[in-house]
Structure 1
Amino acid sequence: MNVWDVLGIEPTEDDSVISSAYEKKLTLEHPENDPQWKEMLHEAYEVALKLARKRSAATEASSMRLNDHGERLENTYENMENAREEIAVSTAYPYDANPIQIFLGQVSGLYSNFANRIQPSSWQALFQENAEWDIENPQLQDEMVMFLEEKHYFPMAVWAVLEKTFRFQEHEEELRGRHAEEFIDYIVEQVNGTVELTYDCFMDVKIDFDIDRYLYLREMAQYMLMAGELEEVGAYLSEAHELFQDDPDLELMRGKYFEAIGEMEQAMDCFKQVIAMKPDEFEGRWHRAQLLYKLEQYEAALADCNSLLEIEGNQQDALMLSIHCYTQLGQLKEARMKLQQSNDIDNVHDILRYVHGIKLFNKYRYTQEVEEKGQRQARKQISSFLLYFYLRLTWPYILVYVGLQFFISVPIAVTVLWLAVMVWSGWKTFKTYRMMTT
């Protein structure tokens, strides 16, 4: 193991890189718990600085030496001296370093290479190399969690490898007792993909900007958007977009943000950009369809709904919005067909379908003649919904009253009170019906 392995970086001539690596090791790995490791870390730091300065001086000197033909000469002697010194350094430590510290150095090195960081196979290979010792060791889990608190920008597939290896969710309660609960929540969210942000757009792309700064801005924009903090969202999105413009997740967030602040034209441009990047995925086209409907562009919204239904024929959200569009366009026969399709897919009571059924049945709003079969279906839907609604209000009272009948002679006052509750619930159901049909 040489000094660069100890510091967890590639050989470099840059003093600031070496100092930064040393400080991070002190912060993340707590070498004060292991005096020998602390001593070795400090020694590695000093030797690395010495090597870096020698390399830098040798590079500068060699650039000044030319042969008789004007070609640059390499200083073979100095190169050999540096090589011998590095070999000596690599064998200078009689102390066998803590395997956890060595492992974390490898993790840090892999993380620093973004192209490899986002590849699940890179992490699988690293963990297989260390399969001979207990990777579920509580100390290792703690050190890994502390590492992830600082460096945690991975695609979901890599989080799956981390979870399979360290079993964070299996040990969730124990980890909550030793670490900040908010960060354990974060790990669980990433593993489950509940707030997933994709990394496909970075594949085979030259990363000539601060990628970790970008990923931080993107993630913060997502959380601020979910929290409704629009002013903060705008700042994060603006800075992130200056760094990178080809991320469909960022464009989708920009579209949602512009729609929320009333900039509909800019929102539409963002959703179009998302569709151009991912034409066969749901999110971009779905949000554009909703915006088109809001802008009363019903035919265009319907076209997007139909495109979504071509991708996934039983997509309930697209079916519901298409029913809205057909209804607004006065095409009630098509609306009823879509409503029936929705009912055939899912027979569970769904208030949206009942509302659509009521709208289609409301002769005051829609004056076209409705077929008798359609009227019967609408009446059946309305009746089923009203019965469901009434029972949702009254079932506890019915259950208690009937139960009392088996055990005691129910006083007349209780019966009167029970009937009053039943009548009141019936009146509430009727008012709901009137509100929905007028």
Structure 2
Amino acid sequence: MNICWEILGIEPTTDLECIRQAYLALLPSFHPESDPQGFKRLRQAYEEAQHWAASPAEDAKTEEVSDEHEILVAFRELLASERDRFQPSAWQKFIQQLNQCSMDEIDKLRWQLCDIAMKTETISLSCLALLAQRLNWQPQEAEDDADGEELEAFLETVKRGDAFDLLSLAKLPLVVQDQTDAYFFKLERIWRFYPEHFADALQVQGAWIIPDDKQLHRKLLHWFSAEQWSMAELVDIARRWQAVEPDNEDAHYYLCKQRLLCGEGESLLADLCDFWQRYPSTQADDLLLGWCRQHRPDFFPLAVMAVEARCMADAEYVPGESARTRLLWADILHSGRLSPLGRSFVDSLFYKRKAMAWANSRLSTQGEPETPLLDLYRTAEQVVLEAFSQRKALFSPADPAGGRGKPVRWRR
């Protein structure tokens, strides 16, 4: 009991207003969204101090427990039941039992039930939503602003529901059920409110169980792919998803993404090209470019041009002139992954020598053998340099009368 006073930072007192003010002063430092554990400790200390101030005698507490309403007893038993606590049918049965009470009884019990639910570590939010709807818990009915804020955060959590179907844990030991539920609840909260700490949260945890739940599997695919993390198990999950929904773009994307992150080489290329052609998007572009960078760096500059051509082709399109293309070329040029031929090719694109001068130089003075790659480079160079020579200026110099000139064509 002394710990509650240490947390509140006050001496033991029976002054309820003093206890309340201490609680309110500390509340901003322990918000239920940003620090749920700290908030829980603070709330528990507040309630213990209130209880001590109202009835310090231990026998009064014992009498209170023994006189607890049968509905409250039944609710505690439901929450502790390994068999029923995640079963919607069991919760419906409890609600039917609650409906047998009078309106006055229900009005007295509704907030006591809410208080018990808020203090329960492992609870099915989807099932609890049934009870919340029946009892119509509303934040504005709280006794003060602090309680209202806490209740609002709690009801928002209930509204979002469970991270996955908790019934998928039914065959696991109780302690493993609790740990698994708490872990994925924490992960989802961090992803929603503090995504910058998500990678750290994954690294802290050791081995963990992945429940057999489709909703959770797709969340994991999204989380891991967004963080650029690979997991071999997710490849199988994505493959099963695509088998069930062969035309689902997300299933196809996550399968390609996880295979790429897992380091798959030549066997992935055909599927990547198929995805790139079927679903034009920046995500598809990034997959193809990512694969080329890892496995065929000398083809990366050409893949960048192909991506640019599809994204930007119009009447004013000049190959190789987009900011993104030039940044990607510069990045691969300085990465150290290109061969001497590849570096020379990208360098020629930046300096824009006369068309064919670079390729002829490689063949005549440096003895570069004729290869399919050189032929592709030569063709790409011609496309870039010939298009560049046709660029248009916006306006000609001002005419003698001081007016704007007409658009003219200029050559470099």
Between structures 1 and 2, the one with greater helix share: 1
- TM-score normalised to the size of structure 2? 0.44
- TM-score normalised to the size of structure 1? 0.42
